[in-house]
């Protein structure tokens, strides 16, 4: 083995905003972006600016008086709601704690990652989190390989649960009338199956982390999916207790299934149709789904505003020092 190689292949120098860094890393762990000094310091303010832009845009369409009148007063509901909301960042914090010994401050970065993906652009959160990891003094390893593996495994485990729930719910889905989107749904299911098979076939080339780490990440993702599915059902049951909890659990599984299917032009309509077929109570079920959706959006916007302000304050203070 030559001086410029390791068991993982030829080493590449780490470049970017950390100009003085001299450590090297395996080629298969090298980031996609290795040029453009200083780009990581701009991604935070840009994401924060995007947060504020979405907040001002969405605030125009929100009826706050109506929302206040509909907000549930059950403490148990809010406990479940915030546990559901933060389950993603919490689970990923445990994952990156194992991989990088990530500090507690990394939790804020993971919340920004979640909101970036939800209200700005899918996978923009991963770009932001990668930039944060590159800037963090506590993280000494190359972040790209770990983030890539965590993201791929999240999709793979999600696809696995999607196919499992599809098998369980198939008799029910046969009774639903979705009009012109039925064929698209079948194409979407085929796509999920195909991508999962491709990942499994190419797993030795796609994944960079060791087997024990990959298994740990898979277990955490699986636990998160099971928890969020059960928490969704329990939240709905608390707000509409006349319906048996088992039906809400079935609906939550169907929601996970629909959310994972690509190519569907009207996922909300498809989920609403499923909810009415499963639960009944047409007007109450529709209002309940709209309420939870609105609460999630408002929470995204509120936390995005809270997280955006410190980013600009830090940027301004750095400008004064320079």
pTM here? 0.78
Along the chain (322 residues), what's the average pLDDT of each consecutive run of 10 residues? 40 38 44 50 74 74 68 90 96 95 91 91 86 79 88 92 79 60 68 85 88 96 94 92 84 82 68 74 76 88 86 59 40
One domain for residues 1 and 69: no
Residues 118 and 3 in one domain: no
- Asked if 311 and 193 sit in the same domain, the reply is yes
Instruction: Label residues 88-102 b or e (16+ Cβ within 10 Å = b).
Output: bbbbbbebbeebbeb
Indicate if 100 and 9 belong to the same structural domain: no
* 84 and 29 in a common domain: no
1 and 115 part of one domain: no
pLDDT of residue 45: 72
For residue 12, what is the enclosing H or E element? strand 9-13
Three-state SS annotation for 164-204 = HHHHHHHHHHHCCCCHHHHHHHHHHHHHHHHHHHHHHHCHH
Asked whether residue 28 falls in the same domain as residue 157, the answer is no
Q: Where are the alpha helices (DSSP H) in the chain?
A: 40-59, 64-70, 75-85, 87-100, 106-115, 124-135, 143-174, 182-201, 203-206, 211-239, 245-260, 267-279, 282-321
| 31 and 48, same domain (yes or no) | no
pLDDT of residue 40: 62
Instruction: Give yes or no: residues 166 and 22 share one domain.
Output: no
Are 7 and 117 in the same domain?
A: no
The structural domain count of the chain equals 2
Range of the domain at 23: 1-38
Residues 16 and 79 in one domain: no
- Residues 33, 47 within the same domain: no
pLDDT tens, residue by residue, 208-258: 999 999 999 999 999 999 999 999 999 999 988 888 888 888 888 888 878
């Amino acid at each position: 083995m030559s001086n410029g190689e390791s068991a993982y292949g030829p080493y590449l120098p780490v470049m970017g905003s950390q100009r003085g860094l001299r450590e090297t890393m395996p080629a298969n762990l090298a980031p996609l972006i290795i040029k453009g000094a200083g780009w990581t310091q701009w991604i935070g303010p840009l994401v924060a600016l995007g947060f504020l832009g979405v907040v001002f845009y969405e605030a125009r369409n929100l009826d706050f008086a109506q929302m206040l009148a509909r907000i549930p007063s059950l403490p148990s509901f809010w406990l479940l709601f915030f546990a559901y909301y933060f389950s993603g960042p919490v689970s990923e914090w445990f994952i990156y704690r194992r991989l990088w010994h990530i500090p507690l401050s990394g939790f804020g970065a993971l919340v920004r990652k979640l909101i970036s993906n939800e209200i700005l652009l899918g996978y923009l959160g991963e770009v932001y989190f990668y930039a944060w990891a590159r800037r963090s003094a506590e993280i000494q390893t190359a972040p790209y390989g770990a983030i890539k593996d965590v993201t791929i495994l999240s999709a793979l485990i999600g696809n696995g649960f999607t196919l499992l729930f599809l098998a369980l719910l198939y008799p029910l889905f046969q009774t639903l009338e979705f009009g012109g989107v039925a064929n698209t749904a079948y194409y979407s299911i085929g796509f999920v199956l195909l991508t999962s098979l491709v990942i499994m076939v190419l797993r030795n080339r796609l994944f960079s982390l060791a087997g024990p780490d990959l298994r740990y990440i898979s277990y955490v993702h699986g636990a998160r999916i099971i928890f969020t599915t059960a928490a969704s059902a329990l939240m709905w049951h608390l707000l509409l207790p006349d319906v048996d909890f088992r039906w809400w659990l079935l609906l939550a599984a169907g929601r996970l299934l629909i959310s994972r299917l690509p190519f569907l032009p009207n996922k909300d309509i498809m989920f609403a149709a499923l909810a009415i077929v499963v639960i009944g109570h047409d007007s109450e079920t529709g209002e309940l789904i709209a309420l939870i959706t609105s609460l999630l959006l408002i929470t995204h916007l509120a936390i995005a505003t809270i997280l955006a302000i410190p980013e600009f304050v830090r940027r301004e203070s750095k400008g004064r020092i320079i």
